[in-house]
Amino acid sequence: METLVLVLDTDTLPPSDRVEAFHHGLTDDSVPNEVRHEQPPSGLRARMAVCRIGGLPLLTMHSTGFTLHRTDRHVRRQRSRPVVSVSLQLSGGGPGRGGRAPADVRP
């Protein structure tokens, strides 16, 4: 495994730029999706780092709450470069959904 490279730390950005930077990190450098943020009193916070294991890119992240939504439009955008996304919840938790099945997402 290669070394983790920090690609985003929202603490280094003005609060007004954090949502756009977070969205860019999760959609442009990862899997296309729609991001909906929770509105914690402390504001949005996130740290993202990437590494590769062979040809497999891995993203690790610690952040305030958010929800990802993928639509048919997002999937169609990736037909030329299919991607499989796997998420592992290491702390925290909340509601989730895989396809049409609701789930309580916890470590």
Q: What is the pLDDT of residues 46-93, one digit of tens each?
A: 999 988 888 888 888 888 888 777 778 877 776 676 777 777 777 777
Q: What is the pLDDT of residue 41?
A: 72
Give residue-wise pLDDT tens across range 7-27. 999 999 999 899 889 888 877
In this prediction, residue 14 carries a pLDDT of 93
**Model confidence, pTM:** 0.73
Concatenate the DSSP letters of all residues of the chain into one string: -PPPEEEEEGGGS-HHHHHHHHHHHHHTTT---EEEE---TT---EEEEEEEETTEEEEEEEES-EEEE--HHHHHHTTTS---------S--EEEEETTEEEEE--
